[in-house]
Structure 1
Amino acid sequence: MELGGALTIFLAICLSCLVLLSAWRRMHKGGKLPPGPTPLPFLGNLLQVSTSETFKSFLAVSSGVAFANGERWRQLRRFSLTTLRNFGMGKRSIEERIQEEGQYLLEEFRKTKGLPFDPTFFLSRTVSNVISSVVFGSRFDYEDKTFLSLLRMINESFIEMSTPWAQLYDMYSSVMQYLPGRHNRIYYLIEDLKKFVAEKVKANEATLDPNSPRDFIDCYLIQREKEKANPSSEFNIKNLILTTLNLFFAGTETVSTTLRYGFLLLLKHPDVQERVHQEIDQVIGPNRLPASEDRMRMPFTDAVIHEIQRLTDIVPLGLPHTVIRDTQFRGYTLPKGTDVFPLLGSVLRDPEYFSQPEKFNPGHFLDEKGRFKKNEAFVPFSSGKRICLGEAMARMELFLYFTTTLQHFSLKSLVAPEDIDISPKVSGFGNIPPTYELCLVPR
């Protein structure tokens, strides 16, 4: 038999098995599920998901994939929160790391000499170095080839995650990884990132001093040794690699993407940028380093950053999770094992809480006297027990990077503000800002 014929038969068998498996799962799932279109075997509701507007599609059909849950999630989250706090999350030390990286960023910005450039990797390098100093114990040189390769893989992975192929891969990864197609790209990207983290883990194991932990990896290895006699411990090398990669990936891509989208919005709204400049001049001045405590005296800047996060909605689907027991929700029954998306974007653009949900309006976070006001529908970091591990760090980074940059530069667009298109170039798991260039003019 020719190779092509054998491959065709193999694919047909695999597809048939998946169809039967999907149908069986559907028949035995039970429960009174919320309304929605009937899923097809194997494909589910994939054909009803738009490739360019995945969030809107999921808002209509409620499909999803699973992340870690149960005891593993509890153990690893508790440990990660404690360790990150010990390394300065929300404390002076992490602020100093961000301030230091902010100065490196300014040096890189000055090298552009006012000429047009794409800010993507300028921002990802500086943001990534903050989380790198926590999880790996040191920062990278901006020209380090390995570092640049990692950032490209992270950037491409975030884009690939927003394609329907990624959803299909997540649902049937045990089979899909062996089948040809675009879905394999995300698999290989993640595997390469895992290999890098694994090498870092091996290096730390070889030089570990239990009395002097250098970074997140060291702390994890020490905890693993403490729990080696505990049969229910989740502290193994596999979980260390995945948890470290989670922190590194999320700590790099989400903040840098928000900054990149934020710069674009300020280019489109120069009046808003000018008001931020005025507030910076009034509160911080031209020379002093911006500090997190300045936020309390800068309500307009604070409102602008909140509105950037709200409108850009970087992770509109939120992180998917699995129901760990039969759950009653608004008269419906979600059987154990059901995968759900929280759809954060539906809250961030709720007209009940935001008067102009589709427009950029910092006034959504200001009262009639110009004071900053909180809004309970502002949930870009999710909420409850599943709230983002790095919320405190991300909030500090966004404020310090925005103010540090605008303290020294004015952002200039290459086109008229009214011609700037802020529509995401890809919208799925993440909202990816369009590629653009800008000029930085020293103030």
Structure 2
Amino acid sequence: MEPRQRLHPLSPALHGAKSLVVVIAGLSWSTLSRVGFGWFAALVVALALGATVLSIISWYNTGYHVVGRELRVYEGLLWRRTRAIPLERLQAVEVVRPLLAQLTGLAELRLEVVGGGKTEAPLAYLTVADAAGLRARLLALAGQAGQPAVAPTPGEAVAAPAEPVTTATQVPPGRALHTVRNNDLLVSQLLTPQAFLLPFGVAFVVVQFLSEDSWSFIAVASTLTAMAGVVLQPVRRVLDDWNFRIARDDGTLRVRNGLLETRAQTVPLHRVQTVRATWPLLWRMKGWLRLRLEVAGYSVGEGDERNRPDRLLPVGDLRTAELIVGEVLPGVRLTGLPLTPPPSRARWLHPLGRNALGAGLHERVVVVRSGLLTRQLTVVPYARIQSVRVVQGPLQRWLRLATVHADTAGGSGAAAESRDVAEAWALAAELAARTHAARRVTG
């Protein structure tokens, strides 16, 4: 049995630094005014030292090693805990580099396991070479356990990879498909409702300051806080998708993105359940759309959406989207999918959006269209459908309509809304037959 390995010795310092930021954020300005700067600084130092000591103790009692086809992670001092992660359930291993890790040449390893409620056992932190080497080894063992689609690429050596995942400027291994221009990414986030509402918020704050009668520090502070919350989402998207690059490597997609926190993700194509194309209202003037996907076995319950590998194309034109969708779902073209609208009486339920609805069966996938202001096209391969449901609400029964749901494992699937009842049952029967045939072929 191989010896137990420890994390990098700088790990406690990085964890302590993160704790220091949390401590300073938690101590309010009112505390500073009450105790004075000297006691405030002493309190911050004492809490930071305490957090660092706890981090050192945690690091000393944390270890990992590979036993057969299991990754075992040991942690805890008073309450010892051992996590055994079967590698046959491993879907992907991400190499993530937050800003502090980039400054110190370290990386974090995060594991995605089938049925996991969240990202498993992050190993923070390892050297970049160690993280890439362990990642390649785990994926190789997972491939030997019956999942060759996520095996490491020929360029990724187990001990010392020739091209470790170090920076976001590197091209992912394999055949490059597309690189998103950062200028397009910035413009796409300016073409959002948040960006258009921002000038009104700024004008409101200026008016509050200039008007003596209505000036209120609490009101202005609350407005600034609300504005920061509105602006944070598009800024976060830009930082997360900066230098977005996607490549194809045998049965996987390789994605790299991020500015302050770089990420290298592996998406196994045989696990793709759903592909969604979305046309936001303000993006249509540029002819842009974005692509998202759902992958079986990933943590759909993960609170942080950045931990879910759903990015396929943050922003791009239709030609680029066609290229990428063709790699994920061979033979499927977004502009060549059969779509029929619901019957005319569905306008009583969808007075403005009836013409935006549609559904159809392709040779390989079921496709559903929805959305009025933000248009969306959902594509689900037959082999990924877990169940088919026909649902009727009270008004639908009165109008002789029904909605057909194609459910996927842990995902949202697709829903063909407000179809004629007879058509809905025929569509459900055909979906069930095609799903059964597709599973026999892939099984």
State if a TM-score over 0.5 links the two structures. Answer: no
Q: TM-score, normalised by structure 1?
A: 0.23
Q: If the length of structure 2 is used for normalisation, what is the TM-score?
A: 0.23
Q: Which has the higher helix share?
A: 1
The higher-RCO structure (CA 8 Å, 6+ apart) is 1
